């Protein structure tokens, strides 16, 4: 349900995915103080990376799915930002730099609600779970998501091919990202982006990175208003994740302003309803971050003890490729990549991607420049490899299907 009703309610259960059930409960506080607004938890990414100030990414702080059966509600405080001196200063700054009407902005922020739920959800877990690659992989590279990816690819084949031709990004990379982000538009979030971004700009919780996170959200709040003003969109109607990420590809407003494109040619950008706009925007984002057309994403490392030992020693967590392949092979690393010419690729920069799973030996692979580009979408090794593997799995199913059709003819 697209989110905007306010009421007390008896316990209400809604199923949003094939595996998770979220329960919504009414608030016990008076409605004059706090109102419960029901919304689906946005963006099922659950990646493990971090977001730094000034880094251009498509989505914000990685988000985790709500555990099955957890009581969940969006708790809000209406009119929290009316006559707020910090908001007034923000409005004055916007009026000075852009073509905004001061009275209209004051009226808008008088109608913004504080989202207590967004504040709760951005807090780090008091008991962080150990990184678990196999569990993460199983969540995103699985039959239902792969089947949905095949359906999406077939329905949008022309747009995917056009994006590949125009931006040099293969369809499987685009399909992988959209599948991990929202299962091809199924779960885009029902939080009002204006409420979420205002809350996290002016009321971010007291954490060690509070100042830089507030600066990031302030920039995205500004860009939300600039974008909606330019597109003549009512900003109160824009829905997204609890951090303000929007649409099929979960772009933050700052990424919409910089990278979103009108790929269906209808005169406006609609990342929530237009798969073509989402496809073109993801492809443009990857190209602008340095995607190398026709180049690999990862190379597999041999499983022998010596090769794994070199990988362990070289795995320093840096996402940007900074080892040459020759450095690693001279140290004793062997590759398990058919067709790889290690002599010709000796100078290719790579990074060692470590994939820990509790109770198992850590797995390793080599990431090339295109792997690094995927981490610019979300700063997580797990995320980037899941995107790559999901895209490859969907591509394989597409190829198998096409082969089956050819064989039957």
**Catalytic residue list:** 181
Neighbours of 22 (CB within 10 A): 23
Q: Quote the crossing angle between the two packed helices 85-97 and 210-231, to the nearest 10°.
A: 50
Q: Identify the residue whose tokens are 């504040």.
A: 119
Alpha carbons 377 and 372: distance in angstroms, whole number: 9
Structure-token pair, residue 21: 């059930």
Helices (H), 232-360: 253-259, 275-288, 305-314, 325-330
Do 240 and 60 contact (CB within 8 A), yes or no? no
* 3-class state of residue 282 by DSSP: helix
Do 245 and 217 contact (CB within 8 A), yes or no? no
Alpha carbons 280 and 72: distance in angstroms, whole number: 34
> Based on the number of CB atoms within 10 Å of its own CB, is 85 exposed (0-12), middle (13-18) or buried (19 or more)?
exposed
Q: Identify the residue whose tokens are 């990424």.
A: 255
From 226, 224, 194, select the one nearest 98 (Cα to Cα).
226
Compute the radius of gyration of the chain from its Cα atoms: 22
> Based on the number of CB atoms within 10 Å of its own CB, is 382 exposed (0-12), middle (13-18) or buried (19 or more)?
buried
Measured in degrees and rounded to the nearest 5, phi and psi for residue 153 equal -60, -45
Measured in degrees and rounded to the nearest 5, phi and psi for residue 172 equal -65, -30
Alpha carbons 54 and 194: distance in angstroms, whole number: 21
Where are the extended beta strands (E) located within 230-383? 239-240, 298-300, 323-324, 349-355, 363-367
Do 29 and 18 contact (CB within 8 A), yes or no? no
* 3-class state of residue 333 by DSSP: coil
């Amino acid at each position: 349900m697209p989110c905007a009703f306010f009421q007390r309610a008896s316990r209400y259960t809604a199923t949003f995915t094939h595996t998770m059930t979220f329960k919504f409960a009414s608030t016990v506080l008076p409605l004059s103080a706090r109102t419960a607004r029901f919304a689906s938890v946005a963006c099922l990414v659950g990646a493990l990376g971090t977001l730094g100030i000034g880094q251009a990414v498509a989505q914000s702080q990685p988000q985790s799915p709500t555990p099955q059966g957890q009581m969940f509600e969006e708790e809000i405080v209406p009119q929290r930002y009316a006559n707020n001196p910090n908001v007034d200063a923000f409005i004055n700054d916007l009026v000075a730099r852009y073509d905004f009407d001061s009275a209209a902005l004051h009226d808008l922020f008088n109608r913004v609600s504080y989202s207590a739920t967004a504040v709760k959800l951005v807090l780090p877990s008091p008991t962080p779970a150990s990184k678990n690659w196999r569990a993460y992989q199983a969540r995103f590279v699985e039959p239902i998501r792969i089947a949905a990816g095949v359906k999406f690819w077939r329905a949008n084949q022309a747009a995917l091919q056009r994006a590949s031709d125009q931006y040099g990004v293969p369809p499987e990379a685009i399909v992988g990202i959209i599948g991990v982000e929202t299962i091809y538009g199924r779960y885009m979030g029902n939080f009002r982006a204006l409420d979420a971004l205002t809350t996290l700009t002016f009321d971010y919780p007291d954490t060690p990175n509070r100042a830089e996170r507030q600066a990031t959200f302030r920039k995205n709040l500004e860009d939300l208003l600039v974008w909606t003003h330019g597109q003549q969109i009512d900003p109160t109607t824009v829905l997204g994740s609890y951090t303000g990420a929007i649409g099929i590809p979960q772009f933050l407003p700052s990424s919409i302003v910089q990278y979103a494109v009108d790929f269906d040619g209808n005169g406006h950008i609609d990342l929530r309803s237009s798969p073509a706009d989402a496809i073109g925007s993801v492809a443009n984002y990857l190209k602008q971050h340095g995607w190398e057309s026709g180049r690999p994403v990862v190379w597999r490392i041999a499983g022998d003890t010596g090769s794994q030992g070199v990988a362990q020693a070289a795995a320093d967590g840096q996402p940007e490729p900074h080892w040459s392949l020759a450095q690693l092979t001279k140290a004793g690393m062997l590759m398990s990549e058919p067709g790889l010419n290690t002599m010709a690729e000796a100078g290719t920069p790579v990074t060692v991607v470590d994939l820990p799973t509790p109770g198992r030996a850590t797995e390793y692979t080599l990431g090339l420049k295109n792997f690094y580009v995927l981490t610019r979408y979300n700063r997580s090794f797990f995320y980037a490899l899941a995107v790559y593997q999901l895209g490859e799995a969907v591509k394989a199913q597409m190829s198998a299907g096409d082969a089956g059709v050819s064989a039957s003819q």
